[in-house]
């Protein structure tokens, strides 16, 4: 849960999650909608899917025994180098370095590594340096200490070098290179997509679709919609996307919300329209399943953040179009 997410955000989710799925069996056997609902709002939903996949692997292939070494952990879905090393060192005392963003920064400065910190070769170099520094039998404590140093003292901006316990052996400090290290190359600007979605009504029911199992926002529900094509009006985009994704012909009514949202690799501006059903039988042409549900029942389904904001606007309509913002969820 803590990957890319702040501790304060995670804490309530963590407690609720453990209460709901207290064992590997409970997680492995959890209904996917319940799992997604418990993760709703945390973002990066692949983490939840991977965790369940890992739980199932442990049950079916490892006789229910949780792996205790970094190499064995790395074979589980969702366990990369950092997570595997963290669990192996902190929970099982294996001598391995857990290198997260904080640790990368601390070691880059201590050894004055001026290479681009985004490059895998630089990360590998720092992993080797951190491994060389590990005190035998105390890797867990060491990893925690370096992470803590990075989070509290050796911060990205204005590190507190005057209070740092390792300043004497820190090359960047000794050579006055702190403002230059770590060096991070600039990322290309994020691509932007304009999206139109339709809240299609038939009587007092609203149409929602379950996204495909894998990929971005997999297993979450959403309102049908998609990317605007060049030269297309938003209303035309909405009508076309609803037709493509559900087979329905709809009348596009007024726009009632605009949501701006940033994902890791792109950002979107999502325009939400009221639509009324004209003809056709709804079928899941681009999703796993579609359902007609009551407005008040929408809260039982797990939606991505941008769609949650659309629901907010539906539940609490403003006198005019709502402009809503969200970040990285
Ligand atoms: S001396 Fe400064 S730059 Fe070096 S590790 Fe400590 S806080 Fe970081």
Identify whether residues 282 and 218 lie together within a single domain. yes
**pLDDT by position in tens, the chain (length 329):** 888 788 899 999 999 999 999 999 999 999 999 999 999 989 888 899 999 999 999 999 999 999 999 999 999 999 999 999 999 999 999 999 999 999 999 999 999 999 999 999 999 999 999 999 999 999 999 999 999 999 999 999 999 999 999 999 999 999 999 999 999 998 888 999 999 999 999 999 999 999 998 878 889 999 999 999 999 999 999 999 999 999 999 999 999 999 999 988 899 999 999 999 999 999 998 899 999 999 999 999 999 999 999 999 998 877 554 455 554 43
pLDDT of residue 265: 84
> Is residue 166 in contact with ligand 1, taking CB distance under 6 Å?
yes
Does residue 195 share a domain with residue 151?
A: no
Q: How far is the CA of 179 from the centre of ligand 1 (A)?
A: 11
Which atom of ligand 1 is nearest the CA belonging to 106? 5
Measured in Å, residue 162 CA sits from the centre of ligand 1 at 8
Whole-number Å distance between alpha carbons of 54 and 48: 10
pLDDT of residue 327: 43
Q: 3-class DSSP state for residue 295?
A: helix
Q: Both 223 and 162 in a single domain?
A: no
Claim to verify: residue 229 and residue 110 sit in the same structural domain: no
Q: What's the whole-model pTM score?
A: 0.77
Closest residue by Cα to atom 4, ligand 1, is 170
Could you tell me if 34 and 160 lie in one domain? Answer: no
- For ligand 1, whether the C-beta of 287 sits within 6 Å is no
The answer to whether the CB of 234 falls within 8 A of the CB of 194 is yes
Residue 310: phi, psi to the nearest 5? -65, -40
Dihedral angle of Cα 179, 180, 184, 186, to the nearest 10 degrees: 90
The string over 78-107, giving b where at least 16 C-beta atoms fall within 10 Å of a residue's C-beta and e elsewhere, is bbebbbbbbbbbeebebbbbbbbebbbbbb
HSE, CB side, 13 Å, CA atoms: give it for residue 22: 1
DSSP secondary structure letters along 91-159: HH--------HHHHHHHHHHTT--SBTTSHHHHHHHHHHHHHHPPTT-HHHHHHHHHHHHHHTS-SSS-
Q: What is the rounded distance in angstroms from the CA atom of residue 267 to the CA atom of residue 306?
A: 11
Number of helices and strands in the chain (H, E)? 12, 8
Protein residue whose Cα sits closest to atom 2 of ligand 1: 161
CATH of the domain at 47: 1.10.340.30
Which residues have C-beta within 8 Å of that of residue 118, sequence separation ≥ 6? 184, 185
What is the β-pairing status of strands 205-210 and 289-294?
Answer: antiparallel
111 and 126 in a single domain? The answer is yes
Residue 100 in domain: yes
Single residue among 37, 66, 95 that ends a domain in this structure = 66
Q: How much distance in Å is there from the Cα of 11 to the middle of ligand 1?
A: 29
Answer yes or no: is the C-beta of 154 below 6 A from any ligand 1 atom: yes
Output the pLDDT for position 215. Answer: 79
Are 200 and 280 in a shared domain? yes
- Which helix (H) or strand (E) segment holds residue 269: the answer is strand 266-279
Q: Which sign, positive or negative, has the C-alpha torsion 93, 97, 101, 104? A: positive
Q: Is the CB of 96 under 6 A from ligand 1?
A: no
Q: Measured in angstroms, how far is the CA atom of residue 88 from the centroid of ligand 1?
A: 27
Query: What is the predicted pLDDT for the residue at 328?
Result: 41
Spacing, Cα 134 to ligand 1 middle (Å): 18
In whole angstroms, what is the distance from residue 57 CA to residue 48 CA? 14
Non-local (6+) Cβ contacts of 124 within 8 A are none
Task: Give dist(CA 25, CA 271) in Å, integer.
Answer: 41
CATH code, 161: 1.10.1670.10
Q: Does ligand 1 have an atom closer than 6 angstroms to the CB of 145? A: no
The angle formed by the CA atoms of residues 67, 73 and 74, to the nearest 5 degrees, is 160
Range of the domain at 264: 191-325
* Nearest ligand 1 atom to alpha carbon 181: 3
181 lines ligand 1 (CB under 6 A): no
Same domain, 89 and 105: yes
Pairing of strands 322-325, 249-262: parallel
Cβ–ligand 1 contact at 253 (below 6 Å): no
Q: Is residue 71 part of a domain?
A: no
Ligand 1 pocket test, candidate residues 111, 145, 166, most atoms within 8 A of CB: 166
Asked if residue 237 lies in contact with residue 244, where contact means CB atoms within 8 angstroms, the answer is no
Cβ of 112 below 6 Å from ligand 1: no
Q: Considering only CA atoms, which residue is closest to atom 1 of ligand 1? A: 167
Q: Is 108 in the pocket of ligand 1 (CB under 6 A)?
A: no
Q: Which of 27, 47, 66 is the last residue of a domain?
A: 66
pLDDT at 187: 84
DSSP for 1-38, please give it: --TTS-HHHHHHHHHHHHHHS-SHHHHHT--HHHHHHH
């Amino acid at each position: 849960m803590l990957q890319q997410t702040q501790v304060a955000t995670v804490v309530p989710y963590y407690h609720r999650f453990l209460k709901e799925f207290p064992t590997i069996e409970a997680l492995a056997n959890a209904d996917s909608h319940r799992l997604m609902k418990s993760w709703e709002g945390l973002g990066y939903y692949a983490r939840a899917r991977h965790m369940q996949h890992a739980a199932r692997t442990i049950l079916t292939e490892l006789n229910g025994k949780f792996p205790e070494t970094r190499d064995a952990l790395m074979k589980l879905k969702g366990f990369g180098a950092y997570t595997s090393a963290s669990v192996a060192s902190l929970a099982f005392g294996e001598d391995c370095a857990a290198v997260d963003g904080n640790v990368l920064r601390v070691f880059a400065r201590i050894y004055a590594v001026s290479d681009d910190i985004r490059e895998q070769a630089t990360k590998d170099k720092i992993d080797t340096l951190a491994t060389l520094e590990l005190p035998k039998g105390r890797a867990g404590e060491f990893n925690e200490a370096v992470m803590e140093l990075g989070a509290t003292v050796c911060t990205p901006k204005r590190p507190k070098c005057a209070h740092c316990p390792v300043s004497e052996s820190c090359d960047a400090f000794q050579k006055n290179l702190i403002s230059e290290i770590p060096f991070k190359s600039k990322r290309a600007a994020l691509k932007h997509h304009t999206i139109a979605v339709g809240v299609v009504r038939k009587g007092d029911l609203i149409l929602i679709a379950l996204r495909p199992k894998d990929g971005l926002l997999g297993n979450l529900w959403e309102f049908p919609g998609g990317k605007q094509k060049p030269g297309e009006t938003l209303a035309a985009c909405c009508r076309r996307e609803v037709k493509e994704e559900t087979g329905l012909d709809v009348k596009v009514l007024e726009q009632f919300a605009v949501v701006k949202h940033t994902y890791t690799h792109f950002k979107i501006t999502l325009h939400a329209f009221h639509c009324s059903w004209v003809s056709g039988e709804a079928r899941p042409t681009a999703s796993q399943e579609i359902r007609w549900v009551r407005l008040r029942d929408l809260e039982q389904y797990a939606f991505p953040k941008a769609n949650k904001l659309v629901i907010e606007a539906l539940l609490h309509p403003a006198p005019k179009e709502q402009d809503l913002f969200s970040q990285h969820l």
